[in-house]
Amino acid sequence: MEMKHTRWPKRLIAAFIAFAMIFGAIGFNNVQAEASTVPRVRVAGHYVQFEGTQPIHLNGVIHVPVRGVFTLMGFEPTWHGAANTASLYDGQTRIVIPIGLPTFTVNGRVVTPEVPQKNVGGRVMIPLRAVTEAIGGTAHWDGVNRVAVISPPPELLDRVLANIGALAAPTISTTSLTGGNVGQFYNQTLTATASSTWAVTVGVLPPGLSLNITTGAITGTPTTNGTFNFTVMAQNASGFYTRAFSIVIGGGQHTVTFNANGGTGTMAAQTFNPGVAQNLRANTFTRTGYSFAGWRTGPTGTAVQYTDGQNITVTANRTMYAVWVRGYTVTFNANGGTGTMASQVFQRNTAQDLRANTFTRSGHSFVGWRTSPSGTAVQYADGQRVTINANRTLYAVWVQGYTVTFNANGGTGTMLPQGFQRNVGQNLRTNTFTRAGYTFAGWRTAATGTTVERVDGEWITVNHNHTLFAVWTPGNAPVISPMPWPIAATNGQHYSHQFTATGAAPITWSHVGGTLPTGLTLSSGGLLSGTPNVTTTPQTFNFRVRAANAAGSNEHDFTITVHGGTAPNITTTVLSPATATVGVQYNTAAKAATGALPITWSIVGGNNHNWLQINPSTGALTGTPQAGTVGAGSVVVRATNSVGHHDRTFTFTVQAAVLASPTITGNNTVTFTEGVLETFVWSAAPGDITWNVTSSNLPPGVTFNNGQLSGTPGPVTAGSFSITITATNSGGTSAPYIITVVVLPPTP
């Protein structure tokens, strides 16, 4: 952005008062007094046009009005009538001129002119040369043209030029700045169309650089890489101009150079930013009879300092030298076939896999390798793991057979032909062709038709060369799978989710509606990923995605909430309920917590809490206290997320079981026989029971104790008797229970 501001020149209102006869005392020498001629005054090349009172000379010294030359220089005159004093002030310099005294002052410094100031006809006239020189300017007399030439102090020149309309507001000429590098001296100078001072008004310069306010030079040694945007202002007394600039500071990159160190080939140099790790380039050098082992920073030695492709950080320019280990070379010969295969190096006594064959031969099948070009006995299978201790050539072994060629038949991709031995079955290659909007169904021997003759990978026997054409069936339009769906992301933390859909491949995904959180993008492959960067959390975003293939498309709406990236804070302060009962299932509400999701809950301590379990997802506590847990207890609950954790201690009380009143079970009527010992038992539940007899009419010899009626009735006791009992537990007392006791006479 550029902006220009211009001040309009002030109207020249100064008027010099009557001129002196000669200039001698102020440096205007050899001036002839001419009462009829008024000399002119030129300031900074500009002739001043006066109104009213003109310059005069007093005793050979030129005097001018207070309002005149010095208002042109930016001084504001003031008359102090009570003190009979005039003053001039421009914000920095104050000139005090008392009338009737032989001196004046400049910022308190006393100046004594040859001819002092004077009130002439009601106008204050001041000595031109004395005041000009007192503020740092110069004056001289042009006798030929009868002109008093005044040069203002340099620091006031722009002000004078602006006031006379000769100084234009600046325009910044520089339109762009070159970039720099960390640690390298930078020097660029801004230019403007008029004299200016310079300042940065918006943004900042790259660290290490500074702007000279006088010259506009930007110099220094950058310390930080990046792009730095800022606005510069050029200003003078007539106005100002701004322009936005950008300086790109490179990272002070270091270069890694690769040296074959006896090998052959070329590798491009690699640049590293300071402090940023990256993988070394994969080696492409080769050396006959050797295998590449790694890199080192010197050309001699065999100790490997860096492995191939190792992730490293580079702090200075360096050269990596290849480290070679002597080995043996295996050369592959097509032996009647066509194609090329690179040779392979083996270290002594070190096993490795042979390269997979890439040779082909029409009408033949590759079956393996042998060390001589003749014969059909295979010595090495394709890709076999072997140890090689001498240079050797392996010759392809071919068996007469037939070739099956695969045709995409409207699809795309490539598949190698497949060789078959006569009457020897094998599986067809697995299809790798694709066709947009279609599903591969199988193969047939004609390009037209939909009947599948061979399924993918089928075991077949081939006795002639032929071509198999892919059979395609129209695919279905995609249907987006709505679930499962991670509905929460954390601000400032990486997030990813892979959308899925049914339908014919390939499926292309796009974001077609709503708003995704800043920092998240949806790839054409359906991966929503990135690092959310939102200003307010939690914040919910609704958006729509589309899945499309050649058969059609499907859209689905989703919602994602971005939570703040902070550690958890458990906001629940008390358990609800806070009392548990022995033998009764205990449940609490889920614990509330703030912080980045997901939050995992756990128990990390406490007292009398071993009977409790916690739901790791909700924080809900459950359990059944048992006997022996009655009393106060505590549990320390922890909420954990990716940022940190928060613990809170909760207290609770376990109370004894609250029992129902007991119920008595047993016979209501029992029978005794005189002289015969009998025992009858009653039970009561629940809980620990205490038995009570509330009324008793038992026969002699029979007693009731702790739920048991026992005894031997005495003689002549036959008849009917009764007893009323109750059972008591911690929950209460049972209803009265009446037992009828019948005593029979002895058996004759």
User: pLDDT tens digits for 404-416?
Assistant: 889 999 999 988 7
pLDDT at 486: 52
More confident residue, 14 or 123: 123
- pLDDT range class, residue 51, cuts 50, 70, 90: low
Give yes or no for a contact between 416 and 337, defined as CB atoms under 8 angstroms apart.
no
Give 144-177 pLDDT, tens digit per residue: 877 888 989 988 887 887 777 655 778 899 999 9
- List, for residues 526-548, the tens digit of each pLDDT value: 999 998 988 887 889 999 999 99
Say whether pLDDT at 307 is over 50.
yes
> pLDDT at position 512, please?
94
Residue 590: band (very low, low, confident or very high) from pLDDT cuts 50, 70, 90: low
- What pLDDT is attached to residue 593? 80
Measured CA distances, 206 to 170, 217, 315, 657, 741 (Å):
25, 14, 22, 75, 111
Q: Residue 237 has what pLDDT?
A: 65
**C-alpha–C-alpha distance, residues 713 and 734, integer Å:** 29
pLDDT higher than threshold 50 for residue 34? no
Question: According to the model, what pLDDT value does residue 214 have?
Answer: 86
Residue 252, pLDDT score = 66
Strand segments, DSSP code E, in 237-317 are: 239-250, 254-259, 270-272, 278-279, 290-296, 311-312
Q: Which long-range contacts (CB under 8 A, 24 or more apart) does 554-559 make?
A: 554/477, 554/478, 554/479, 554/480, 554/501, 554/503, 555/480, 555/512, 555/513, 556/480, 556/482, 557/513, 557/514, 558/485, 559/487
The per-residue pLDDT for 199 is 92
pLDDT > 90: what percent of the chain? 38
Task: Provide CB contacts within 8 A for 686, sequence distance 6+.
Answer: 659, 660, 662, 729, 731
Lowest mean per-residue pLDDT among 169-173, 571-575, 615-619, 730-734? 730-734
Q: Quote the strand ranges of 35-122, DSSP E.
A: 40-43, 46-47, 56-58, 61-65, 76-80, 85-89, 94-98, 104-106, 109-111, 118-120
- Domains of the chain as residue ranges with CATH: 2-163 (3.30.457.10), 180-250 (2.60.40.10), 254-327 (2.60.40), 329-401 (2.60.40), 403-474 (2.60.40), 479-554 (2.60.40), 569-655 (2.60.40.10), 663-744 (2.60.40.10)
For residue range 317-345, list pLDDT tens digits in order: 899 999 887 778 788 999 999 998 887 87
Q: What region does 132 belong to: left with phi over 0, alpha with psi -120 to 50, or beta? A: alpha
Which SS3 state, helix, strand or coil, does residue 162 take? helix
Q: Mean pLDDT over residues 179-187, rounded?
A: 86
Is it the case that residue 57 has pLDDT exceeding 70? yes
Convert the pLDDT of each residue in 429-475 to its tens digit: 899 999 887 888 899 999 998 888 899 998 888 877 789 999 988 87
Q: Given this model, what pLDDT does residue 275 score?
A: 66
pLDDT of residue 35: 37
651: amino acid identity, one letter = T
Q: What's the rounded Cα separation, in Å, for the pair 168 and 158?
A: 10
Query: What was the pLDDT predicted at 6?
Result: 44
| Mean pLDDT, rounded, of the chain | 84
Average of per-residue pLDDT across 189-207 = 89
Average pLDDT of span 675-682: 91
Read off the pLDDT band of 485 (50, 70, 90). Answer: low
Instruction: Read off the amino acid at residue 275.
Output: G
What is the per-residue pLDDT across 487-498, written as a single tens digit (0 to 9) for each? 678 887 788 889
User: Does residue 592 have a pLDDT over 80?
Assistant: no
421 CB-near residues (< 8 Å, 6+ apart)? 365, 367, 399, 400, 401
How much is the average pLDDT of 292-308?
A: 88
Contacts of 499 (CB under 8 A, 6+ apart): 480, 481, 509, 522, 526, 527, 528, 545, 547
Q: Is the pLDDT of residue 9 over 80?
A: no
